[in-house]
Amino acid sequence: MAAAPNKRGTSLKATIKDQSGAGKLKIGELLSKEGQITNTQFQAAQNQMKKGGGRLSSILLQMGHIDPETIVNVLGRLYGYQVVKYSDIKPSPQLIQAIPFQEIKEYLAFPLGARSDQIVITMTEPTDTTAVEELKEKINGFLKTNKNLKVCVSTENDIIEAYRDFYKISEEEYKEFIHFDDEPEDEEPVTSVDDFGSLVSEAADELEVHEVDDSSTSDEFMASDAPIIKLVNGILTKAIQDGVSDIHIEPFEKSLQVRYRLDGSLFKSMNLPLSIKNAVLSRIKILAELDIAERRVPQDGRIKLRLGKKKTVDFRVSTLPTLWGEGIVMRILDQSALNVDLSKLGFETDTFKAIKRCINRPYGLLLVTGPTGSGKTTTLYSLLNRLNQDDTKILTAEDPIEFNFRGINQVPVKDSVGMTFAAALKAFLRQDPDIIMVGEIRDITTAEIAIKAAMTGHLVFSTLHTNDCPSTIGRLIDIGIPSYMLASAVTMVLSQRLGRRLCPECKQEVTGYDPNELELYGFNKKEIPKLKIMGPKGCAHCNGTGYKGRVGLYELMEVTDEVAKAINANVPEDQLRKLAVQEGMVTLRDAGLEKVRQGVTSLDEVLKKTTITKEALPAYLVNPDIEKYEDKDVIIREGNNDIDFFKLVKGAVYVVKGGKKIAEITEPGEYFGEMAAITGEARTASIVSKGRSEVKRFPGDKLLEVIEKYPDVANHLFGVLANRLDHANKLLLKTAAQKTDKH
């Protein structure tokens, strides 16, 4: 905390005790004077403050009139306040101990340090002279000193996080701030839909009358009928009320079915009579600005639904012609429901700290991985949202763009017109960005440009469809990126899953687990006797499912010096995982088990979403019989020195050598990888799953036992040896014959 505030800054400091309460409004006056807010906005915020209390800056922020960075920027740039960022908050422990959290939280102030002549603090509204005066008295009281107060400025978020880090405040205390954060009073609640039955019959009745009256009624006319409008609005608002993610409207022979997707599972909501099918579908298509006359080809559109004054919800609409008519699926893009606050995603404290470290580096490639539906987009958006500041240029290439961010340049990718991820990325580099997000790395071209961008001073975010962190590195090597480049460009890999969260109203303890089994799942032998595992029951609160909402499971591999060395040395995936764990990585399974210990989710859910990694148990114990691989999973990696071999059980695999596919193994019962077991030499080719495959693994270091136990394997191995010998023999004969010819 070096430089003292300049003269303009000091002029705002309190010299006499201010009892008028004007200090509380000072920040509003400044922002208004600088043109950051209008008079009306200022007035509205003041009214809100009178009604519900709170700080003016927080209210302005909540109302969306200013950005989180506005105050810091204005006070820092124009009024000479020293800006203290989260990463700069390193208070002395004595100070934290001496000044209780309860005494400073209402000021959103944080003590930074004490010197011989002054005490340095930071707060969100240093312009509030009354607050500064009160704080000065309080802090001096606690420290038994009589020093001046030097006041710096920080964002609300930074201060709250500093509270969490240094005052170790409880989740409840933390949530109080968060709650405070999103408490805008919605004067007009969402139209409530209590009685769908009456909406539907109202719509159907009205239409029947129309059909009797006028048999040539056009769809458009019917679609604009009040009951249809009401019904469609009802379908949309109910979806928002219930917090579903998608609405499926599907025509069948005898009815039009409406289903909702909630927490990842579909459930049926209602059947609509066929008499209103066309009218309902047309109404939705009109809202989405689609061609209502066109029913034979798929169409895409968007609906913007306004709810109350401030809230709008976007729906992405797509139609599909099916046997019984057009089906429509609507994805809800509810901006307010999107959790783009990184601190609210449910990271464990250490993981969260590591993430903050990684995104605060000036450059590097940061990857988020996981299967479809694992919440990668939300995580990426949260990372970007956190970095979205006035002094940072952010460009994104997305397919599709799901949410619009103020201040971020978002570019839609359209393969059909040549606007690919790679093309967008190339163009980005000429736009002088600080941060780039590319929706997905699918090919070598995109991967190469992303790596290059990361190595030339940009922060680059992207996603990959890989199962965990170590395999992500393997995938990039498979795509064709040299390992030394990965070692220097990648700063972190975050792999994630979404599991269902147990309903807090009805979750109950599950007993009767076999301790041996629990150990096999990854629990520690010592903790098992004391373990309390919760499971689902089902109540009205959770629609009888026993689950409500989701919980993220995260595996974060920070590319530390050691991890970088290992990547550079191209070590096998298992070794990389082992090392990453030593360097602090918590595997997905362990992250899941932690959520089980906390009673947040059930053991079943974790077992379903994560697999135990091979370090914990030898491979042939984890999966004594069959191993399953997804498309493009690498079973054997070229150049590695492992010696297990495999028998194909189901599906097919590719043989890849030097990045080129040289063969395919498609016959169940075929063996592969056995030469390494026989000769102990490095792998001469990679084996990659083609689609899903199932293979049986044989431990190469237990060759004798395997031969003893499995006669058919022994047969095969000797067959391979005999063939090799025969082949070598023929080669020798051929060479000998050629030599004789020449002489």
Residues of this chain that interact with Zn ion (CB under 5 A) are 503, 505-506, 539, 541-542
Residue number, 534 or 585, with CB nearest to Zn ion: 534
CB 491 within 8 A of CB 545: no
Q: In Å, what is the CA distance from 487 to each residue of 75, 209, 344, 366?
A: 41, 71, 30, 12
Residue number, 132 or 603, with CB nearest to Zn ion: 603
Residue number, 506 or 559, with CB nearest to Zn ion: 506
Residue number, 539 or 622, with CB nearest to Zn ion: 539
Identify which of 390, 263, 394 has the alpha carbon closest to the alpha carbon of residue 337: 263
Question: Residue 552 CB, nearest distance to Zn ion (Å)?
Answer: 20
User: In Å, how far from its chain's centre is CA 207?
Assistant: 45
Give me the sheet containing 490-502, strands edge to edge. 409-412, 394-398, 435-438, 459-464, 364-369, 490-502, 547-558
Sign of the alpha-carbon torsion through 120, 122, 126, 131: negative
Collapsing DSSP states into helix, strand and coil, what is residue 617? coil
Tokens matching residue 461? 């975010």
Residue number, 169 or 534, with CB nearest to Zn ion: 534
DSSP 24: H
Identify which of 314, 131, 297, 279 has the alpha carbon closest to the alpha carbon of residue 207: 279
Question: Residue 506 CB, nearest distance to Zn ion (Å)?
Answer: 3
CB 332 within 8 A of CB 315: yes
Residue number, 302 or 550, with CB nearest to Zn ion: 550
Following CA atoms 575, 577, 583, 584 in sequence, which dihedral angle do they give, to the nearest 10 degrees?
-160
Residue number, 181 or 604, with CB nearest to Zn ion: 604
Identify which of 177, 134, 132, 133 has the alpha carbon closest to the alpha carbon of residue 152: 132
Residue number, 503 or 603, with CB nearest to Zn ion: 503
Residue number, 539 or 720, with CB nearest to Zn ion: 539
CA end-to-end distance (rounded Å), the chain: 89
Sign of the alpha-carbon torsion through 442, 445, 447, 449: negative
Question: Residue 535 CB, nearest distance to Zn ion (Å)?
Answer: 12
Question: Residue 551 CB, nearest distance to Zn ion (Å)?
Answer: 15
Residue number, 599 or 699, with CB nearest to Zn ion: 599
Question: Residue 599 CB, nearest distance to Zn ion (Å)?
Answer: 14
Identify which of 229, 146, 242, 232 has the alpha carbon closest to the alpha carbon of residue 190: 242
**Mind giving me the DSSP string for 222-242?**
HHTSHHHHHHHHHHHHHHHHH
C-alpha span between 369 and 469 (Å, rounded): 7
Please name the amino acid found at residue 333. Answer: L
Question: Residue 542 CB, nearest distance to Zn ion (Å)?
Answer: 3
Residue number, 541 or 730, with CB nearest to Zn ion: 541
Reported residue count of the chain is 743
Residue number, 26 or 507, with CB nearest to Zn ion: 507
Question: Residue 49 CB, nearest distance to Zn ion (Å)?
Answer: 38
Q: Which residues of 39-66 are buried (b: 16+ CB within 10 A; e: fewer)?
A: eebbebbeebbeeeeebbbbbbbbeebb
CB 579 within 8 A of CB 562: yes
Question: Residue 556 CB, nearest distance to Zn ion (Å)?
Answer: 31
β-bridge mates for residue 326, sequence order: 321
Question: Residue 345 CB, nearest distance to Zn ion (Å)?
Answer: 23
CB 375 within 8 A of CB 415: no
Give the phi and the psi of residue 582 in degrees, each rounded to 5.
Answer: -60, -35
Residue number, 497 or 501, with CB nearest to Zn ion: 501
Question: Residue 543 CB, nearest distance to Zn ion (Å)?
Answer: 8
User: In Å, how far from its chain's centre is CA 461?
Assistant: 12
Question: Residue 578 CB, nearest distance to Zn ion (Å)?
Answer: 40
Question: Residue 243 CB, nearest distance to Zn ion (Å)?
Answer: 15
User: In Å, how far from its chain's centre is CA 141?
Assistant: 45
Question: Residue 263 CB, nearest distance to Zn ion (Å)?
Answer: 12
Helix then strand then coil, in percent of the chain rounded to 5, is 45, 20, 35
Which residue number places its CB atom closest to Zn ion? 503
Residue number, 458 or 501, with CB nearest to Zn ion: 501
Question: Residue 40 CB, nearest distance to Zn ion (Å)?
Answer: 45
Helix (H) or strand (E) holding 123: strand 118-123
Residue number, 520 or 539, with CB nearest to Zn ion: 539
Question: Residue 343 CB, nearest distance to Zn ion (Å)?
Answer: 27
C-alpha span between 91 and 688 (Å, rounded): 52
